[in-house]
Every structure is written in C-alpha cells, then in structure tokens.
Amino acid sequence: MSELDLITETPSSTPKVNLLGLTREQLEQFFVEIGEKKFRSQQIMKWVHHFGVDNFDDMQNVGKGLKEKLKARAEIVAPTVTHFKESTDGTRKWVVQLDAKNSVETVFIPDGKRGTLCVSSQVGCALDCSFCSTGKQGFQRDLTVAEIIAQVWIAHRSFGTPEHKGARHITNVVMMGMGEPLLNFENVVNAMHLMRDDLGYGIAKKRLTLSTSGVVPQMYELYDRIDVALAVSLHAPNDELRNELVPINKKYPLKELMKACHAYVDKATDSRRVTIEYVLLEGVNDNFEQAYELIELLKTLPCKINLIPFNPFPHNPYKKPNGMRVRAFQEVLQKAGFVSPIRTTRGDDIDAACGQLVGQVQDKTRRSERWQAKINPQVVEVRPAKG
C-alpha cells in the first residue's frame, strides 16, 4: 500500500501522509480527497520544495483552517542527517539515517557553474559489481519516493537560499548513488517526476540522469514513462570480462544491452546520446586491445565515454592505473572519434568518490558477512543459513 492509498481512510485510523513523497498529480488527488481545491497542491509544493519548509505554520499564504486540516492528516518528514562532511574541493557528503539500522549517502559535486547531486535509490545494492564498495555492503530494501526526494530536499536546504532569490546550486541530478535505480523502478520514476516538475526542483531532462548496470527490461519501460538522460555502467568491452565485473551481464549480455541503448537513442525526439561509464582497473580492462574492442562495440551508438580511474577501497583487489596509462587508453578512443573525458576524482578525502559510497546496511543477503569473511577469515565466521 502506498502513502496515497491511505488518504481515503479516516484520519484516526491511518498514518499521516508524507507530502514530501507525492507528485503533483498525487498531491492534487490528496487535496480533492480532503475537500479542498486542486490548486492548493501548487501552494504546498512551492513551500516544500522551493523553500524547504517542513512546518505547516510557516506557510504564510495558507489559511489557518487548512493548516489545521493538514496537521491532522499530513506531515512533511525527511530522514535525519547523521553525518555531514565537506571536502577541500567543495564536494559535500551527507549520511542520511532512514531507520534504526539503515542509512544511505548523498553527494554534491561542484564544478564551476555546474552543481551535480548524486542520489541513492536503495539501501545497499541488489547487484554485486566486483569493484564497487556499495555492492560489498549487501542489500536491505528499496527507498521510498519520500526518501529519494528527501536527499534533494536536504541538499537544497543546505545552501540556505530559495531558488528564486539567488543562483541555482543544484543544476544536475544523477541517480548514481547507492543501489540500482531500475530495480526500484516505480519509486525512482515518481521521484524523478518531482525533480523535473517546475513546482519541484525544475531539473531539465538533459540534466537529470539515470545510471543503470543494464537491467534491460526496465530500460525499455523507462523510455515510455519519463524522458531523462541515460548512463550505462559498462566497464568491459566483452561478455567474458563483464560477467566477472558486472554479474548482471550473465542475465542481460552485451548484445541485449546494446540493443536497449540503441532503442533509447531512436526513441528520443531530439539529438540524444548515451553516456557510457567505464571504470579503469589496472591490468584488467585498460589495455589497447580492450580499447579497440570497446570501439567496435560502440561504433554505431551515439555516445560519450566517461573514463573513471578506479577509486580504491580497503581489501579490494583492484588498483588504479597510473595517469599515463589512462591517457593512452583515452587517446585510442579519441582517435576513433569518441568524446571520452577522464573524470576527475572528487571528494576522495571524505570517501565520496565514485564507487566509495557505503552508508549503513542491515544486510539481508549476508553478502557483507561473506565479504568480511573472505578478507579476514580469522575474525569473521559465516554461519550457515537457516533452512
């Protein structure tokens, strides 16, 4: 049952509806159900998302009667920020506590006039990419719409200035934090609708990016539900290596993934290209032969290739290639006509770089326990699962 499903019940028998997680259409329905006009949704959305207000009494153009009705039936509640750090390069990281045992991380990355917020969609990750620290934490649950949009709300409030009074700090949002967004499909899509809405955060479609490891069926469904930018975590130019690095490739191999990428480009009404994410691992996927394989794989796909030198984390077997090796790989791609920038590592002094987000996960998969046993078998003993 969703938050909105509860609004037709009496206030005494139902939890309050968290308005933070409702889209414009859902908020309009909420007001109709409580005997108010639809336009009230516009007033409330502006107070919540533009001004960061979470107290109905602070909404100056809302009448006392409506305020009392809202207090009885609704609330505006975001998760608690338990930890905040700011890097020397201006990168910000929040640890957001969702419940007693689970938290996620959100990162803001400034780059000149561009400010990108990296948002999480799951507690942990249902996938287990071998080079990603999030995957080693295991998986607990999906985030609700309110928990996803709260990350934007928290970051927006941290700058202290409403959008209409000063420069926009958050210009871009990427669903590239903890979790695989397409495995939390409905909640992520609804949250992105809120991000795009002018009464929400007004993020343009080309500045709102969903990153996937290749959940092919949901990629097609995404194209029919919302128009946003697409990034694909590729990391290998052939199935054999990708099966090792990105295990979901065993279910949806490269031929199927590339077909889904082409469908995205073909469906777009404007000039569109896919962003290919490629983490460079020393001696694993960074040689010239693999660069030429990558060129062959992507030669007919309009795309740019983001090259991401690996960000190490404790006990991981992979290493970051040196700068000369990274530039040599880039040069091969550029000579073939690909736009292939090298992503500058940001926020690594606060563990906010790509692949370093871990949060706190009450792991129901026991993947974290197995990982700890592997790296330190003298300390951690994996108990057999109960049958």
Active-site residue list: 105, 354
Choose among 114, 22, 124, 12: nearest CA to 73: 12
Between CA 299 and CA 198 the distance in angstroms is 37
Closest alpha carbon to 122 in 363, 321, 333, 320: 363
Kindly report the number of other CB atoms within 10 A of residue 11's CB atom. Answer: 14
Residues sharing a CB contact under 8 Å with residue 60, sequence separation 6 or more, in sequence order: none
Dist CA 142 CA 356 (whole Å): 19
Q: Which two tokens stand for residue 203?
A: 């993020």
Q: For residue 359, give every residue at least 6 positions away whose Cβ sits within 8 Å of its Cβ, in sequence order, or none.
A: 95, 102, 103, 104, 105, 120, 123, 124, 134, 137, 178
Helix (H, G, I), strand (E, B) or coil at 111: strand
Give the whole-angstrom CA distance, residue 160 versus residue 164. 12
Q: Is 262 exposed, middle or buried (0-12, 13-18, 19+ CB in 10 A)?
A: middle
Alpha carbons 212 and 175: distance in angstroms, whole number: 9
Query: Residue 162 is encoded by which pair of tokens?
Result: 């409403």
Q: Which two tokens stand for residue 201?
A: 């955060």
Strands 208-212 and 229-233, sheet pairing: parallel
Classify residue 358 as exposed, middle or buried by CB count within 10 Å of its CB (0-12, 13-18, 19+). Answer: buried
Cα atoms found within 13 Å of the Cα of residue 370, Cβ hemisphere only: 12
Distance of alpha carbon 225 from alpha carbon 23, whole angstroms: 14
Strands 114-118 and 103-111: antiparallel
